[in-house]
Structure 1
Amino acid sequence: MKFSSTSKLVQRNTNITVADLILAYFRLEGVTKIFGIPGAAVANLITTLKNNNKEFDYIITKQETGAGYIAEGYYRTSGNLGVVLVTAGPGATNALTASMNAQANNSAMLTITGEIDQKYFGKAYLQEGIDAKLNISAIYNNADQYSGLVTDSSNFSTIFQQALRTCWSIPRRAAHISLPNDIVAMQIDDVDLPRTVSNYRAVPDGCNYKSVLATFNEIKSAKRPLLFLGNGSRAALQDPVRLQRVQAFAKKYALPIMTTPDAKGIYPENDELSLRNFGAAQCEWPQYYLKGEHLDGDFDCLVILGSSLGKLATNSWEEDLNPSLHNVIQVDLDQSIIGRGIPISRGIIAEVGAFIDLLIDISDKDEKPQNEAVKNRLTFIQDIKEKHSPYLHPEKMHLDKNPIYPQALMQVVNEVIPKDANIFSDCANCVGWSLHYLNVSPPMQIHYSLSMGPLGFGVAGVIGGKLGAPDKTCLAIVGDGAFMMHGTEITTAIQYNIAPIWIVLNDNDLGMVSQGQAHFFPPKNPSETSWDDYYKIGNPNCKLFAESLGAEAYDVSDITEAKAALKTAIQRADESNKPQVIVAHINTEEIPPYYSELKAY
C-alpha cells in the first residue's frame, strides 16, 4: 500500500537527498545537537549540516569516545536522543566503546558512522569498514541492540526508522547506522515522510491487572515487605506526580524502598521510608531491615521494579536475604532478565510506570490497611534510623584533615551542591565514595555507568549533562586517572560555552586497582612489594592541566579549602560560564566501602 500525499500519516517529499531526509527525521525527533568528529566518509552529510547550522549544532569533540560519553550525558539530563556522527575506520572504532556503554546503561543513543563510497568496497580503500578485515557494521551489531547498513536510498527510511524505534524502546537502547558517503548524496524522486514520530514508533503502556492485584495483596498482607527499585524505574519516577503517589503509597503501608546502585536517588533518600541504596557500597540501613529482629515475622515479600539484578546490585544477597523468602515479584518490560538474578514467585512483563500507576489505583480503593502491622513496621524502620547511621564511618565525614578524607569531601558536596543539581560519577573509587556517602533526592540526580564501568564516562558525560540542563549545576566526581584520559574535552566545553564542574580525587594512583589488589592479594611476607600506591600515574599537575585547557582550577588539601572552592566554582560557573575544576588531594589510606569490616563486598 502506498499512501497519497494527502494522507494524515505521511507527507510526500520530492527531489530530496538522503542527507535532507536524515535532517527531516532529526526534526521529527527533536534532535538539534549532534556530537562527533568529521571526516571524508561523512563529507556529504556534514556539508548538509553546515548548510543548516541555524537548526543543528554539530558539536566537535576531541575524541570520538568522548563524543559518545557527551552524547549520553546529554540524553540523561535532557531526555533527548543522543546522536553521534563520526567518520569511517578509526572514527567508528573509537566511538564503539561509548556506544556499547550506552547500550549497557539503557540510554537512547544513535551512532552514525560514515563509510567510503560503495564503488570502492573491497579495494582496500583508506578506512574502509565494510568489505574488508574491519567490518564496522558487524562490530556494532555485536555491541548494540541494532546495527544497519544502508545500501541504497530506497532502503534508507526503513533502516533509519528501525534504528530510531530501537533507541526509544523500553528499556532504551543504542543503535548504529553505517552510511556510505555516496548514498547520502543520492537524489530521491519521491518519498513519504511520516508526519509525527507516532507514525513509525510506539512504546507499551499496560500490564496485567490480575498480576498487579495479586502483588498488591501480597504487599498488604506481608509482615516485612520491601520495594527494590532499579535504574529501569528512573524514567517512570521522573514524573513528579507519580513520585508523590509512590511516596504516599509507601507511607500508607509503611513500605520501605531501596534502590540498586545505579538507581541511587531516583526515590528521595531523605524520605522516612527510604533505605537508600543496596548492593555495592550500600547504605548501612538495608541490612538491619532485611535481617532485623524485634519485628513480627521474617522478611517475606520483595518487589523488584526495573532491575536486571546485576552483580553490583545483588552482591550481598547471600548475607542479607532470608533464604526461605518465597514472595519475590519482578517487574520489567524486558522478559529476558526476569528471574535471571534470583528465583522469583511471579514475573510481570510490564512498563514500570504503568505497573506503578495500576498498583496505586488499586491501593486507593483500600480504606483499611492493616493498621497494627503498618504501625509496627513504621516503628521498626524509625528505630533502625535512630540507632544506626546510614554511613560506615560517619565520624570521618567531618574530619578537617590534610590531605582530605574522601568521606568528608562527599559531605561537602552534600552541604553545598544545589538541590536540583546533576551529579556524574566516574568509575573506580569515586563510585564507592559517592554511592555510600552522598545523600541524593529528586530533583537532584546522580548518574553512574556501572554496567560497563569505563574510566572517563563521568569526565566527558558531565559536559553533555550541562548542555542538556544548562540552568542546573552539573558536577562530575572523577579520579585523576580518568581525568587524564578524557580531560581534554574541557576544550569542548570552552568552545561551546558549557560550564560544568569537576572534582578530581587526586592520589597519583589507579587507587581502586592498588587497593583491590592489596585486599585480595596481600603480600605474603615482608620481602614482597607492597601494593600501596603501586600503580602511580606520573604525578600529573591536574590544576595546571585544567588551566592550560581554559578552565578555572583550584587546588585544595583540606575541607575548609574544598568547601570554599566548591562554593566559588558553582558561582563562577554561573557568572563566567567557564568550566571549573577542583583538584582535591585525598588521603590515599582511606578505602571506599567495597571491602569494609562489616561486609565483604
Structure 2
Amino acid sequence: MNAAEVIVDYLEKHGVEYVFGVPGGAIEPLNNALHKSKIKVIVAKHEEGAAFMADGFARVSGNISVCCSTAGPGATNMITGLASSCGDSIPVIALTGQVATSLFGKGAIQEFAVQSFSIVSMFRHISKYSDIVINEKKAWEMISKARRLALSGRKGPVHLNLPTDIMKRKAGDSNGRCNTTQVLGFDREGVIEAAKLLMEAERPVIVAGWGSVLSQADKELLMLAEMMDIPVATSPKAKGVISEAHPLSLGVLGFAGSLVSQEYILSRDVDVMLAVGTSFNEFVTSGWDKRLRPMKSLIQIDIDCNEIGKNYYVDVGIAGDAKTVLHELAHQLLRQSKTSGKLGVSRRQEVQAIKEEFAVTPDTCDNLPYKPARMIKDLSDSLPEDTIYFVDNGNSMAWAIHHLPITQPYTFYVGLGFASMGFATAAAIGAKLAAGARPVVSIVGDGSFLMNGMEVATAVNYKIPVIWVVMNNSMLGMVYHARKLSGIPEGIPSGFAPVDFVKLAEGLGARGIRITEPGQINRELIEEIISSGMPTVLDVIIDQEAVPPIQSRIASLEKLYT
C-alpha cells in the first residue's frame, strides 16, 4: 500500500462510513485510495459545509467522522467548521492536501506560507492534534494517533496534512486496527463527599450540561434525579437530555431558557447544586449571574479538569466521565441511605406549582404576520416525537430553545461552542445519514441559510431528505432586535433584500414550499414531505417585529462588553 491507502484502509477498518469533502489536485492520492475502498464520499459545495456535515454525523451517530479538502484555500475554508467541532468536543478527523515536499517554499499553486507548515500551526489552535505526514512509513502511526486522541478523554477534532508525494510512496501494509482506551475512573472521596452533601440538602438542584449528552448519561441522570427527587435544569446545548415533560424538569437555564428554571435556581434559596458536564459559560449563566452560586455547596463533575472551578468556586470537584460518575454517585447515595434511613424528600409539588405560575403558553395566535412562536408550535405538533432537530445560531435558536418541547434525549442540537452561523444548515445533512429513517429538521434563519444554503444541492445530489425550515424575515434578526432593545443605530445594516427561498430550493433541485399563515405547517403536510423522500425547504415568512427571548443576552452584552 501507499501512504494514502494505508490511511484509508485504517479508517475503513475502524468503521468509517462516509468522508465529507471537496476534491482537488493536492488530495488526488487520497481520492484514488477512497475509490478502491467501500467508504462513501459525500462531495459538499464548500469545505466549511463538509466539516459541518462531518460534525453532524458524529453528533448523531456517536462515532468519529471524517472530512477532507485540498491544499491552501480548501484547508482554510474548513477551519470554521472544525473550530465548531472543537468548541463542542466533537470527534472529527480533518484530512487536508498539501503540495509535494520537493516544492515547499517555491510558491506552488495553493501552497500556504513559507515551507508549508503554517496550515498545521493554524489547525493546532482549533484541534486536539495537528501534524503533517512527512514520512510515508509514519502514515499508519499518525492516523492511529489522530483517531485515538479524537476519542480519548474530552473528545474533539484532529487534523493531518498530507503532502502529495508522500501519499504516493509505498508505506508497506496497514497494521490493522488500533483500540482506544477511555479513562472512566473517578475520585471516590469526591463522590462520597458529594453524596453526603446531596443527602443533607434541603433545596438541591442539578444543572446538566453538554458533557452529560456527550457521555450519553441520560439514564444515570434520570435515575439520580428520581432517586433523590432533585429538580433538573439543562444548559441550552443539553436541552432534552431529561424529558422536558418530566415532573422534575425545570427546562433550560440561561439563554432563551425557562422562567421555571430561573425562578427555582436564581430566585429561591438553592443550597446544593450538582453541575454535570457544564463549564458555566456565558449562555447557561446569563453572563455569569452571581445568584447562580448555591447558598451552601457547588459540586461540579467534568471530564476536563480545566473546567472545574473555572467560573464559580467549587466545593467538591470530581474529574471524570459524567455517565461513570453519576452511576457511582447514585450507588453511593443508596449505600448512605441504608445508614441514614432516608433518601430525598419530594419536591415535585413545588416544581409543579412553579410550572403552573411561570409556564409559557403555546402561541395559538392565528393573526398575520406569522409569529415565530406559533411556527415552532406548528412544527412540534406536526413532527414525530423522535424527530432530530438541528437549530442554527441567531433568533431561530432563541425561539427553538424557549418554545420547542423536547421529550427524547439526543434529539436537539445547537452548535453553541463556537456559535457559527450556517452550522445547522449543513450539519443536518451529515446527521440525516446517521439518523436512518428518523426525520431530521434544520431550523434556520434566512441569514444563516444564505451562508451555507448551497449545501441543499449536496442533499439533492445524494438523495438525503433533510427538511429545512427557513425563518424568512429579510434580516439578521438577532442583530436587529438586540440593537432595537439596546438603542444601537444601524451603522452596519442588519437587513437585506428579500430572498425567494422556494425558487432557490427549486433551482438547486429540491422541493420548495412557501408558508405564510399559521396552520399551513400541519401533520398532513409534514407526513407528505417525509413520505416523498425529497430534500425540502419550507420558506416561512415570519413577523419581522416579533421580539425573541434574548433579553438575557442583551443584559450580558450591556454588562460585560461595555
TM-score (norm 1): 0.88
Tell me which residue corresponds to 2:371: 405
Match of 2:109 among 102, 126, 135: 126
Tell me which residue corresponds to 1:275: 250
SS in structure 1 at match of 2:519: helix
Q: CA deviation at 1:451?
A: 2.0
CA distance in 2 between counterparts of 1:482 and 1:403 reads 21
Q: Does 1:332 align with 2:332?
A: no
Moved more, 129-138 or 153-162: 129-138
Match of 1:361 among 331, 341, 349: 331
User: Aligned AA for 1:552?
Assistant: R
Distance change (3 Å), C-alpha of 1:133 and 1:155: closer
Tell me which residue corresponds to 1:13: none
SS in structure 2 at match of 1:559: coil
SS in structure 2 at match of 1:84: strand
CA distance in 1 between counterparts of 2:375 and 2:197 reads 42
Match of 2:273 among 291, 299, 302: 302
- C-alpha offsets along residues 281-300 of structure 1, whole Å, 9 cap, x if unaligned? 1101012212556xxxx311
Tell me which residue corresponds to 2:384: 418
SS in structure 2 at match of 1:226: strand
Match of 1:535 among 494, 501, 509: 494
CA distance in 1 between counterparts of 2:91 and 2:162 reads 19
**1:181-200 alignment, distance < 5 Å:** 181-189=164-172, 193-194=175-176, 196-198=177-179
CA distance in 2 between counterparts of 1:510 and 1:336 reads 35
Q: CA deviation at 1:308?
A: 1.6
CA distance in 2 between counterparts of 1:123 and 1:49 reads 29
Any conservation in 2 of the 1:421–1:443 contact (CA below 8 Å)? no
Moved more, 496-505 or 243-252: 243-252
Distance change (3 Å), C-alpha of 1:423 and 1:368: farther
Tell me which residue corresponds to 2:201: 222
Any conservation in 2 of the 1:423–1:447 contact (CA below 8 Å)? yes
Tell me which residue corresponds to 1:457: 423
User: Aligned AA for 1:259?
Assistant: T
CA distance in 1 between counterparts of 2:36 and 2:292 reads 60
- C-alpha offsets along residues 178-201 of structure 1, whole Å, 9 cap, x if unaligned? 010111111124x5614x432xx2
Gaps of 5+ in 2: 558-562
Tell me which residue corresponds to 2:120: 137
Distance change (3 Å), C-alpha of 1:278 and 1:106: same
Q: Does 1:593 align with 2:544?
A: no
Tell me which residue corresponds to 1:494: 460
CA distance in 1 between counterparts of 2:204 and 2:468 reads 40
Match of 2:181 among 192, 199, 202: 202
**1:98-247 alignment, distance < 5 Å:** 98-129=81-112, 131-132=114-115, 135-189=118-172, 193-194=175-176, 196-198=177-179, 201-237=180-216, 243-247=218-222
Q: Which has the larger radius of gyration?
A: 1
Q: CA deviation at 1:253?
A: 1.6
Gaps of 5+ in 1: 1-15, 524-529
Distance change (3 Å), C-alpha of 1:431 and 1:229: same
Tell me which residue corresponds to 2:516: 557
Q: CA deviation at 1:546?
A: 0.8
Any conservation in 2 of the 1:501–1:570 contact (CA below 8 Å)? no
User: Aligned AA for 1:136?
Assistant: I
CA distance in 2 between counterparts of 1:91 and 1:287 reads 44
CA distance in 1 between counterparts of 2:19 and 2:372 reads 36
Tell me which residue corresponds to 1:568: 525
Q: CA deviation at 1:321?
A: 2.6
CA distance in 2 between counterparts of 1:539 and 1:153 reads 52
User: Aligned AA for 2:34?
Assistant: L
Distance change (3 Å), C-alpha of 1:466 and 1:24: same
Distance change (3 Å), C-alpha of 1:178 and 1:32: same
CA distance in 1 between counterparts of 2:292 and 2:25 reads 56
Q: CA deviation at 1:314?
A: 1.1
Tell me which residue corresponds to 1:47: 32
Tell me which residue corresponds to 2:398: 432
CA distance in 1 between counterparts of 2:152 and 2:381 reads 38
- C-alpha offsets along residues 128-162 of structure 1, whole Å, 9 cap, x if unaligned? 13635882111111222210111011222332222
- C-alpha offsets along residues 76-112 of structure 1, whole Å, 9 cap, x if unaligned? 1112212011100110011111011111111010100
CA distance in 2 between counterparts of 1:497 and 1:413 reads 23
Distance change (3 Å), C-alpha of 1:151 and 1:317: closer
Q: CA deviation at 1:316?
A: 5.7
Any conservation in 2 of the 1:114–1:179 contact (CA below 8 Å)? yes
Q: CA deviation at 1:554?
A: 1.1
SS in structure 1 at match of 2:66: strand
Distance change (3 Å), C-alpha of 1:86 and 1:382: same
User: Aligned AA for 2:277?
Assistant: G
Tell me which residue corresponds to 1:321: 292
CA distance in 2 between counterparts of 1:192 and 1:454 reads 38
Q: Does 1:583 align with 2:558?
A: no
Tell me which residue corresponds to 2:65: 82
CA distance in 1 between counterparts of 2:418 and 2:266 reads 31
SS in structure 2 at match of 1:329: strand
Any conservation in 1 of the 2:49–2:452 contact (CA below 8 Å)? yes
CA distance in 1 between counterparts of 2:392 and 2:357 reads 32
Q: CA deviation at 1:537?
A: 2.2
Tell me which residue corresponds to 2:480: 514
SS in structure 1 at match of 2:534: coil
**Aligned residue pairs: how many?**
556
CA distance in 2 between counterparts of 1:37 and 1:501 reads 23
Tell me which residue corresponds to 1:347: 317
Moved more, 305-314 or 86-95: 305-314
SS in structure 1 at match of 2:221: helix
CA distance in 1 between counterparts of 2:556 and 2:147 reads 43
Any conservation in 2 of the 1:421–1:444 contact (CA below 8 Å)? no
Q: CA deviation at 1:236?
A: 2.9
Taking only aligned residues, the RMSD between alpha carbons, in angstroms, comes to: 2.3
Tell me which residue corresponds to 2:77: 94
SS in structure 2 at match of 1:210: helix
Distance change (3 Å), C-alpha of 1:164 and 1:34: same
Tell me which residue corresponds to 1:383: 353
Any conservation in 2 of the 1:332–1:351 contact (CA below 8 Å)? yes
User: Aligned AA for 1:550?
Assistant: G
CA distance in 1 between counterparts of 2:129 and 2:203 reads 42
Distance change (3 Å), C-alpha of 1:469 and 1:192: closer
Q: Does 1:23 align with 2:23?
A: no
Q: CA deviation at 1:268?
A: 1.1
Q: Does 1:467 align with 2:433?
A: yes
User: Aligned AA for 1:551?
Assistant: A
Distance change (3 Å), C-alpha of 1:420 and 1:139: same
Distance change (3 Å), C-alpha of 1:337 and 1:319: closer
Q: CA deviation at 1:326?
A: 3.1
SS in structure 2 at match of 1:188: coil
Percent identity for Structure 1 against Structure 2: 28
Q: CA deviation at 1:388?
A: 2.3
